[in-house]
Amino acid sequence: MKKRIRKKKHLTEFTEWGRQLVITRNRKNGFDEFPDAFIGTIEANGWYCGGGGKEDTLDVIVELGRLSVDRDEKMKSIIAWLEARSDVQSWKVGDEFDLWYGNFDENLKLPVGRKI
């Protein structure tokens, strides 16, 4: 398959990877400020995310990039940001999947990450 077609169809070296991230906060007030700060952090690093939430939970898909990008380092920086927040109770990170053709499961059982 030609490179132009692979790029158009997001295949091989043009595959875009992402992870599901579910964040639980320890308070219900101030919900609007938290997503703004989270999205600001994501966009400041040139990444993308989409999703939603309510009250104390935010459920998003974070775009981590292509094969040439160190995706684990991106997740580490996101987790470091979450650990620095006093209003984050816990978070869950799903397995990496292909954003265009992957098997995203809305009822995914995710391991829980907790602040220490």
pLDDT in tens, 64-89: 877 666 777 878 888 999 999 888 99
Domain boundaries, the chain: 16-114
Give backbone dihedrals phi and psi of 80, rounded to 5 degrees, phi first. Answer: -60, -40
pLDDT recorded at residue 104: 60
Q: Give pLDDT tens digits for 16-70.
A: 888 889 999 887 666 678 888 888 888 888 888 988 887 788 889 988 877 666 7
3-state SS, residue 31: coil
Class (C level, CATH) for 16-114: alpha beta
Single pTM value for the model: 0.76
Beta strands in the chain (DSSP E): 17-25, 48-54, 57-65, 88-93, 97-98, 112-114
Mean pLDDT of 96-101: 86
pLDDT recorded at residue 116: 35
